[in-house]
Structure 1
Amino acid sequence: MIDLLWSGIMQYLTFGRGNGLRVSEYALGTATFGTRWGAGSERSETARMLDRFADAGGTFLDTAESYQAGESEEILGELLTTRRDQFTVATKFAVGINPASGVQGTGASRRTMIRAVEGSLARLRTDRIDLLWVHFPDPVTPTTEIVRALDDLVRSGKILYAGLSNFPAWRTARAVTLAEVRGWAPIVGVQAEYSLVERSADREILPMAEALGLGATFWSPLGGGLLTGKYRHQSEGRLTTLGRLIHTEDTEQKSTVLNTVLRIADDLGTIAAQVAIAWLRHRAAIATTGLVPVIGPRTLSQLDTYLAALDVELSHEQYQQLDEASRIPLGQPHESVAARTPTLLGGSDIDFRQPTVPVA
């Protein structure tokens, strides 16, 4: 279990076991900061949200050059002018600043990375990026090129830490190993979609992060709004405004998960969104490395909902009910290995004392 430092409302943790980067237990996602996508938050509302997040003890900000076609970074640059050092600013590159970027403005190559970092530094009005994410892998850039270019940027002081977002586990593990054996700047974290209705990361990504000591941030912790329960009564939301990064009740399991969330919320006298976030916080607290939900409010009221979840405590039984309802089959080879573990350990009656930290 990771050690958490208390300060007011928010808790703090180190982002992984292999570095000293300290972040708040929530990251404030800023994809809604701006309106160039045709949907989002006006600048006055973003200022109120950032102030409220900071007042609650939040320090971790998550943006990307592509968010609102650069407007998200521009707004953050304006808002952080006099308080830059109060926050850990993470941004991403690889998608390009707009859909028309084309071959010269997208991908994970060294050329694209350098261009993106220079652009982000200008929009953010800062001299360094605390954490640079490679937003997505592309099918042509070698992992070696990515990791070496990140190392060059760390050595130059333009970025302080580097991570991989939406990468398959095998590519991340290779990147971590390359950095270790060649003495390059380490890969400190991963970012992936994770929630009660999307637990694919349980198969490879999260076990890898635990074993290698990587921090992890979870995007779309409410399943694009599904876990609020609102789509049972209305259609307005991410489903209609963005039309992407959403989940619907398209499987029996998702309906079962939502029913369980709503029932527990009723038992606790709270709302569904807070139960879903409370489950993630519980999941993070029992990990051996830093796990951080990226919350993405569009309004101050939505942010307050996320912050109120900090006071929601699930019983062990409630956590287990949510875990069981949302659990996914791990598939092969995991199931075969689990079935044969007693034999592989010489018999089920042997008590092997497990190390506190998974062996890498």
Structure 2
Amino acid sequence: MRYTTFGRRTGLRVSEVSLGAGTFGTRARVGTEPDEVRRILDRFDDAGGTFIDTSESYQAGESEEILGELLTGRRDRFTLATKFSGGSGSDRGVAATGNSLKNMRRAVEDSLRRLRTDHIDLLWVHFPDGVTPMEEILRGFDDLARQGKILHGGLSNFPAWRSAHAVALAEARGLAPIIGVQFEYSLVERTAEREILPMAEALGLGGALWSPLGGGLLTGKYRTSGEGRLRDWGRIVHTEDSRQKTAVVDAVLTVAKETGVRPARVAVAWVRERAERSVTPLVPVIGPRTLAQLEEYLGALDVRLDAEQYRRLDEASGVPLGQPHAVIAEQVPFVLGGDASRFRTPAVPLA
């Protein structure tokens, strides 16, 4: 296991993969029993993993409760991130959901109690609620950071323009900074390359990449069975509903055969290598439901794709960047006087 700071705006150190705790517990019909969670956490710890990602809404709060119990006595070894926005129970009301200052404070107090800790290392806003002004979210982060209840704040599943706006507002007003963004990213979901990834790289934000296996599609298992998230959840999952997705799965299976490893390891290895090529730290969030699944994820840390294998996977999965990127690519040679090769791209993109 290797380590990095979470973005260029902080000294917060994290492991190169984050343990996603969305399945920890069984209140949401499908999940992992506490004894298996203990085995998963112990193995992640033994492997050198330090970054854990949960939410108040995961398993209706049970994920946080289980982690609170299992982290007792070793809490300081981990960077603990949790999220709020949707509440944590079936009795959720208007006052217990959304991103308001009132709900943020309520959520943090409840998460601290369930996690049995006095601070949260990274608090994510889980989703935009379409109502709360960014100024209110930033004030909440700043208040809680000054109280020592959270150390850092980040935005999950937000459009790039809103995240960039938040960074600028926090800087201009001297508030606690936004240090990271969280978004879906895998070989079957690369549209973040249009705006979110360039924004994160330019502004030095850490990136937490959820669903690196495309909800299980990239394991190849849905070609022979409906077992897994496709059957149990029926959401946050990809299917072979386009020629490109079929081509991507074909490419993953081919590379897996060439390298002699399971397809899941190839898919995670590609995301990991893509992260290494980024100018800002990107951390895949792995979501094992069993110890065996965790071993597959950890096994990906030892997989090295050669240049040709990476290229094939990259080409099969690439997405058109659309406007304005297409016209920019066309016009750059003209703007630079007809010879773009004379100009070297900066190692760190300009903000």
Q: Which amino acid aligns with 1:220?
A: S
Question: Structure 2: how far apart are the matches of 1:231 and 1:21?
Answer: 38
- Does residue 65 of the first structure (1) align with residue 56 of the second (2)? yes
For residue 100 of structure 1, report the CA deviation from its aligned partner: 4.2
Aligned match of 1:7: none
1:303-322 mapped onto 2 (5 Å cutoff): 303-322=294-313
- Does residue 154 of the first structure (1) align with residue 161 of the second (2)? no
Gaps of 5+ in 2: none
For residue 294 of structure 1, report the CA deviation from its aligned partner: 0.4
Question: Structure 1: how far apart are the matches of 2:341 and 2:323?
Answer: 25
- Does residue 301 of the first structure (1) align with residue 292 of the second (2)? yes
Aligned match of 1:30: 21
Deviates more, 1:173-182 or 1:341-350: 341-350
Deviates more, 1:103-112 or 1:115-124: 103-112
- Does residue 236 of the first structure (1) align with residue 227 of the second (2)? yes
Q: Which amino acid aligns with 2:85?
A: A
Please give the per-residue CA displacement for 1:281-337, whole angstroms capped at 9, x wherever unaligned: 100101111100000000000000000111100011111111110000111111111
For residue 354 of structure 1, report the CA deviation from its aligned partner: 2.5
For residue 243 of structure 1, report the CA deviation from its aligned partner: 1.4
Q: CA RMSD in A?
A: 0.8
TM-score of the pair, normalised by structure 1:
0.96
For residue 194 of structure 1, report the CA deviation from its aligned partner: 0.5
Question: Structure 2: how far apart are the matches of 1:98 and 1:170?
Answer: 31
Q: Which amino acid aligns with 1:132?
A: L
1:159-198 mapped onto 2 (5 Å cutoff): 159-198=150-189
Question: Structure 2: how far apart are the matches of 1:225 and 1:99?
Answer: 28
Q: What is the number of equivalent residue pairs in this alignment? A: 351
Secondary structure of 1:161 counterpart: strand
Aligned match of 1:200: 191
Q: 2:274 aligns with which of 260, 280, 283?
A: 283
Moved over 2 A (4+): none
Asked if 1 retains the 8 angstrom alpha-carbon contact of 2:332 and 2:340, the reply is: no
Question: Structure 1: how far apart are the matches of 2:329 and 2:125?
Answer: 33
Q: 2:81 aligns with which of 90, 102, 109?
A: 90
For residue 349 of structure 1, report the CA deviation from its aligned partner: 5.3
TM-score of the pair, normalised by structure 2:
0.99
Aligned match of 2:239: 248
Query: CA distance change for structure 1 residues 124 and 327 in 2, over 3 Å: closer, same or farther?
Result: same
Aligned match of 2:207: 216
Percent of aligned positions with the same letter in both sequences? 66
Gaps of 5+ in 1: 1-9
Deviates more, 1:26-35 or 1:238-247: 238-247
Asked if 1 retains the 8 angstrom alpha-carbon contact of 2:185 and 2:209, the reply is: yes
Please give the per-residue CA displacement for 1:6-55, whole angstroms capped at 9, x wherever unaligned: xxxx0100111111011001100001100000111100000000000000
Q: Which amino acid aligns with 1:229?
A: G
For residue 353 of structure 1, report the CA deviation from its aligned partner: 2.4
Question: Structure 2: how far apart are the matches of 1:294 and 1:59?
Answer: 12
Q: Which amino acid aligns with 1:316?
A: A
